[in-house]
Amino acid sequence: MRFRRSLPRPGLKLLVLLGTLVGFCVVAAVLTADSRLASPLAALMVAGVLAIASSLATAVYIESRLDRVGRTVQEIGRGSLDFQLPRFALREIDNLAGTINEMANELQTSHRGLLERAYYDPLTRLPNRALFMSRLGTALSRSRSGNRIAVLFVDLDHFKRINDSLGHEVGDRLLVEASRRLQAAANADCILARLGGDEFVVLVDTEEVTTAVLELGDRIMRLMDQPVSLNGRDLFVSASVGVAVCRDPKLVPSELMRQADIALYQAKAEGRSRCVAYDASREQVTAEHVELQSQLHRAIDRDELVVYYQPEIDLATGAIVGMEALIRWDHPHHGVLSPGDFLAMAEESGEILRIGEWVLQRACEDTAQMIARGLGSLVVSVNVSAREFRDPELLDRIPKTLASSGLSANNLKIEVTESTLMVDLPNTADILNRFRSLGIGIAIDDFGTGYSSLAYLRELPFNTLKIDRSFVSMIGHDEKTRGIIDAVIRMSKALGMTVVAEGIEEGYQINLLENMGCDRGQGYYYSPPVTIDEIVKQISLSAWKMSRSEDSAA
């Protein structure tokens, strides 16, 4: 921007000076011609000269002020917004200066706003991806040797579940609280940024960075494990952390970020709520995992998923009284895959909703057909994942599935884990009560592996408790374990619940559990999960044995 004057710099002064000389010459000529006019004309001449001199001074003053205004406008045009013009005595110039100052202030405000939006996250006020990548590039270029720079990827476990079930406002408040805890965990010289969604990243630049970054990862997980109180609710959300240390001073920022992302993926694959460092030797495994995830999306459409059933046995009679539906993936290249091979990635990708809906439909249809064939009033247990449990459509989907399959609600039991229940207890209680109002049974699965709170056992409407296999496996080897199992069974009985022991593999375990008052059991001692045809055979044989036993007793 250029400030243009109407005349060149010396023009105004020269014009006024020339006018003054001409006026002086005219007056002198008149005085010489007529002496009678000398006295009044002399006074007139003096007055004229003074007026012209005053005009000259005023013109010089105005020009200098306008020149200052012009230079300020030029600086603003070059992008320098810190200039401010002083007040001027002349009103017109003062108004012009005020307008220019106001324009400069508005430009400064707009410039700061643009920088804020371009480089900072509007929710948490943390640096965003663009600013973080710039600072990471600067740190890597300054570092002359490896093992000084490290990046941590931090991801909130099951955040989408909370966001979808409790709303985006609660989700945003949780993100703000997570950013506050991350800032508390990080040192002052760390750079913390939000990449988007529930992903955060930390840049660590220090000596002995490997030790420092792992200690930071542990601090982050400890802080994130603490419950978050929002709207009178205690929300439990953990964090997974992936760590990548720069081993090569020539490493570019994008590659270091990629390594940290792979480490985070490995942390999630290993069960979440852990800190994992990047390991190049496992990168191929991760690539295969990603490929498997893409194939999982098409598994339902290709009819590759299969429901297996594991029988549930009455410990007192040995009769099959129910069964648990368990998903399997009959992969065309990898063979039959167990849930542990693909359910975690299904939950992460959201594919778990389609899979869960398919399993529920198939299990209800199979069970209804078995009952129709006269195999008894069987109860099928279907596992509901955390993400499914928070799906608002689940409560509508189950009655529709029961109606379409012809299965009675009394023949369906929903199994949920402790970790699923503890995310939001008031909302959890509401969902479970609505299940019970439909006549559906509710089982708490894997009891003893999570929070194991007596309070929620009393407050939530369970009718079945399943003791985790890790306790059952130790029942004959550890007195403390036996004491815990005995106490759990007594407590469950007092609350009117049926107790099922999972993972029975030895005969002596059955005797101990039955003596403690355990009602039912399942495990490889009786049968592994089997196909629909095989479970029909087992139930038929069980029914035949029971009828023979009754005949003998008669």
Is 552's pLDDT higher than 60?
A: no
Is 238's pLDDT higher than 60?
A: yes
| pLDDT for res 3 | 41
* 307 CB-side CA count, 13 A: 23
Query: What is the C-alpha separation between 56 and 48, in angstroms, rounded?
Result: 12
| pLDDT for res 281 | 75
Nearest to 463 by CA among 444, 446, 447, 448: 444
Pairing of strands 228-230, 233-235: antiparallel
* Digit-coded pLDDT (tens) for 516-551: 999 999 999 999 999 999 999 999 988 777 666 655
Nearest to 178 by CA among 197, 165, 161, 191: 197
Candidate ranges 23-37, 92-106, 337-351, 463-477; pick with highest mean pLDDT: 463-477
Is 349's pLDDT higher than 90?
A: no
Pair of tokens at residue 379: 């109860």
192 confidence band (pLDDT: 50, 70, 90):
very high
Pair of tokens at residue 485: 């199992």
How do the residues of the chain divide into helix, strand and coil, expressed in percent and rounded to 5? 55, 15, 25
Residue 21 or residue 497, greater confidence: 497
Which H or E element spans position 108? helix 91-119
* Digit-coded pLDDT (tens) for 374-392: 998 999 999 998 888 888 8
Q: Which of 205-209, 267-271, 380-384 has the lowest mean pLDDT?
A: 267-271
Q: What angle do CA 324, 464, 545 make, to 5 degrees?
A: 55
* Digit-coded pLDDT (tens) for 463-516: 999 999 989 999 988 899 899 999 999 999 999 999 999 999 999 999 999 999
Q: DSSP string spanning 61-93?
A: HHHHHHHHHHHHHHHHHTT---------SSHHH
Average pLDDT over residues 69-93: 57
CB atoms < 10 A from the CB of 46, how many? 11
| pLDDT for res 131 | 93
> What pTM was computed for the model?
0.59
| pLDDT for res 157 | 87
Is 6's pLDDT higher than 50?
A: no
| pLDDT for res 49 | 57
Query: What is the C-alpha separation between 258 and 460, in angstroms, rounded?
Result: 44
Beta strands in 374-480 (DSSP E): 379-383, 412-417, 441-447, 464-467
280 confidence band (pLDDT: 50, 70, 90):
confident
| pLDDT for res 55 | 58
| pLDDT for res 265 | 83
Residue linked to tokens 């495990």: 523
Average pLDDT over residues 344-355: 83
* Digit-coded pLDDT (tens) for 158-173: 787 777 767 788 889 9
Residue 399 or residue 295, greater confidence: 399
Domains in the chain and their CATH numbers? Answer: 11-117 (no CATH), 129-278 (3.30.70.270), 291-549 (3.20.20.450)
